[in-house]
Every structure is written in structure tokens, then in C-alpha cells.
Amino acid sequence: MIEIQYFAVNPLQENTYLLINEKKDCIIIDPGCYFEEERKELLEYIEKEGLNVTRLLNTHCHFDHIFGNRLVAKTYHVGLEIHRLEQTVLDRSPQVGVMYNIPFEPSPMPARYMEEGEKILFGQHELEVLFTPGHSPGSISFYCAEEGFVISGDVLFYQSIGRTDLPGGHHETLLNSIRQQLFVLPDGVKVYPGHGQPTTIGFEKKHNPFLQ
């Protein structure tokens, strides 16, 4: 079984996810910890639980999802993995931080690019990489069929969707991503978004005002 822990962090209240398997291996997705106490909380939690951090994944590279990339990469000696179409977003992120008056240590460059449809092995389980652009050009989501959940980044939220007014965003592309990649999943699949509370595919199909 995969345990999912998340921390709402930074001025934009971004969800940083830890996926933990039976062997205490841990995948960190979108470490957005910005403030010193948030960073300390993350590191202390990992130490207290005796976790072995094996991978660092980004759903996309907007600055609020990558504040902690350097911390995680350096502390646990893991290489960053993103979709190649997010490279331009990653390259631009330090200037965006300055623009918003939230400067941060630039993220390390990716060690590798994840591909659409790739299966990420995680102990007995696997996560499928779904290509879900629209909020940003190379947004991806991570789907675990066996455990019935998807980490959706800023693609789909509880009764909402990701904004599309940032560089590389496109409204129609985002709606297509949700319909063709996420809404084809079983209704019971739990959605863990980049901000806010979890939801389910079935609930969003019925109640999401942007997709009626």
C-alpha cells in the first residue's frame, strides 16, 4: 500500500506530496517548502519516519512547486525529473520569483526527462505518467491504478481547474487534458491537487463548473 502525506506550504499554499511504500521508500513530488520552518518540518518528518527518499518529481515547474527542489536534491542526493516541455518554465522561474518578490535558490537542472506513458516503478507499485498540458506546457499527472489515486498538479482542483493565463498556458488544451487523460479514469479515483483539498474523478465530472 502507498501512504500519501502532504504539507500545504509557502505563500501560495501549495501541496508538497510524499508517497511512501511498505519499505519506507519515499518519492517527493513538488517540494514547495519556502520558509525555514516548512523546510525543517519536511526534513524532520522524513528523518522521524525513517524514510529513504528515492526520487524527486515535479508535475510542472511554476515557482511555488519547486522552491524546495534544491534542498531535496542536495539533502537526499536525488536527481530532478520533469517533462522536457517544462524546461523553459524551469529556466524562467528565478525571474518570476523576483517579480513576485519571493526570491529563492534556483532549482537544480533536471537529471532526466519523464516521458508520457512512462511507468515509474515504486516497490510493488507503479505510477503512470499522464501528459496533461494546459496550465503549463509540460504539466504531467501521476496515476496509480492499483491504489486508485492521481497526483494532478495544478490541472484539476476541487470544483476548479488550473489557471491558464501564465506563459505557456492554454485554456482549451487544459480542458482537453482533463477530459482525455483524467476523466477517463474510474470515478472512484482520488485526485490529489497542487492546491486545496483532495477530490474524486466522479465528483468533478458531476460538479466541476468548468467542465459541464
Structural domain that includes position 120 = 3-211
pLDDT score of 196: 98
The Cα–Cα gap between 83 and 129 comes to 10
With beta carbons less than 8 A apart as the criterion, state whether 211 and 159 touch.
Answer: no
pLDDT of residue 107: 98
- pLDDT for residue 69: 98
Is-contact 74 22, C-beta < 8 A?
A: no
Domain CATH for 207: 3.60.15.10
Per-residue confidence (pLDDT) for residue 51, from 0 to 100: 98
Q: Helix, strand, coil % (nearest 5) of the chain?
A: 30, 30, 40
- DSSP strands (E only) in 66-111: 80-83
Where residue 179 falls (left for φ over 0; alpha for ψ -120 to 50; beta otherwise) is alpha
**pLDDT means over runs of 10, the chain (212 residues):** 97 98 98 98 98 98 98 98 98 94 96 98 96 98 98 98 95 98 98 98 98 94
Beta-strand ranges (E) seen in 58-148 are: 80-83, 112-114, 119-122, 125-131, 140-144
Task: Give the pTM.
Answer: 0.98
pLDDT at site 6: 97
Q: Quick one: pLDDT at residue 91? A: 97
Domain count along the chain: 1
Q: What is the pLDDT of residue 128?
A: 98
pLDDT of residue 86: 98
